[in-house]
């Protein structure tokens, strides 16, 4: 497997990689608002049966980001794209925002996501990025585990972040 910058022909192949995942846990967000205190609790809840869910739809943004020169990388093995990542820069904040990190189901749990994240990290460092952020669905427990495994810390949420109105959990960390 090797990581490389995506070319135009890769984009439609990336677009067709299924982000469907299965989980038996979700993160439940409880928020209590009082006059002088707001309390937010995240609780890991075990589901009675596995949930099959899909990666949030995001339309034609991949081409726009590629044309803008954002980081669009693919993991490839024997001419097959195993996954991709997209990271946009916010230079005024020295921040790289990982907009997408998707690995094809047969390639999951084989280090593809880790390798893509490291490559995006290197790309960002070369451009002055000191921190990265990403958003994952609260029901995507495998993605939450991935973030935590890579030293990214929970740093917020949005109740209706994604196009399908799923809750986003934000994770971030400093690059070294």
Distance CA 158, CA 163 (A): 12
Tokens standing for residue 146? 């991935």
Assess contact for 139 and 51: CB atoms under 8 A: yes
3-state DSSP percent of the chain in helix, strand and coil, to 5 = 25, 45, 30
Closest to 102 in 3D by CA, of 8, 39, 10 = 10
Nearest one of 88, 68, 67 to 132, comparing CA atoms: 88
Domains located in the chain, CATH noted: 2-174 (3.40.630.30)
Q: What is the pLDDT along the chain (176 residues), one digit of tens a residue?
A: 999 999 999 998 998 999 899 999 999 999 899 999 999 999 999 999 999 998 876 656 888 899 999 999 999 999 999 999 999 999 888 999 999 999 999 999 999 999 999 999 999 999 999 999 999 999 999 999 999 999 999 999 999 888 888 899 999 999 87
User: Using CA atoms, how far apart are residues 84 and 86, in angstroms rounded to an integer?
Assistant: 7
Closest CA to 169 of 29, 22, 18: 29
Q: Is the distance from CB of 97 to CB of 133 less than 8 angstroms? A: yes
Query: What's this model's pTM, rounded to 2 decimal places?
Result: 0.91
């Amino acid at each position: 497997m090797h990581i490389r910058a995506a070319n135009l022909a890769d984009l439609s192949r990336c677009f067709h990689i299924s982000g469907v995942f299965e989980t038996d846990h979700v993160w439940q967000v409880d928020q209590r608002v009082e006059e002088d205190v707001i309390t937010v609790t995240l609780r890991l809840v075990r589901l009675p049966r596995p949930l099959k869910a899909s990666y949030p739809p995001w339309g034609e943004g991949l081409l726009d980001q590629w044309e803008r020169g954002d980081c669009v990388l693919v993991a490839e093995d024997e001419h097959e794209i195993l996954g991709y990542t997209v990271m946009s820069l916010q230079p005024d904040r020295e921040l790289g925002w990982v907009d997408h990190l998707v690995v094809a189901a047969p390639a999951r749990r084989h280090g593809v996501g880790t390798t893509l994240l490291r490559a995006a990290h290197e790309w960002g460092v070369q451009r002055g990025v000191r921190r990265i952020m990403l958003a994952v669905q609260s029901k995507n427990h495998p993605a939450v585990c991935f973030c935590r495994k890579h030293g990214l810390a929970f740093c917020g949420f949005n109740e209706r972040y994604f196009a399908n109105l799923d809750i986003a959990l934000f994770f971030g960390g400093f690059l070294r």
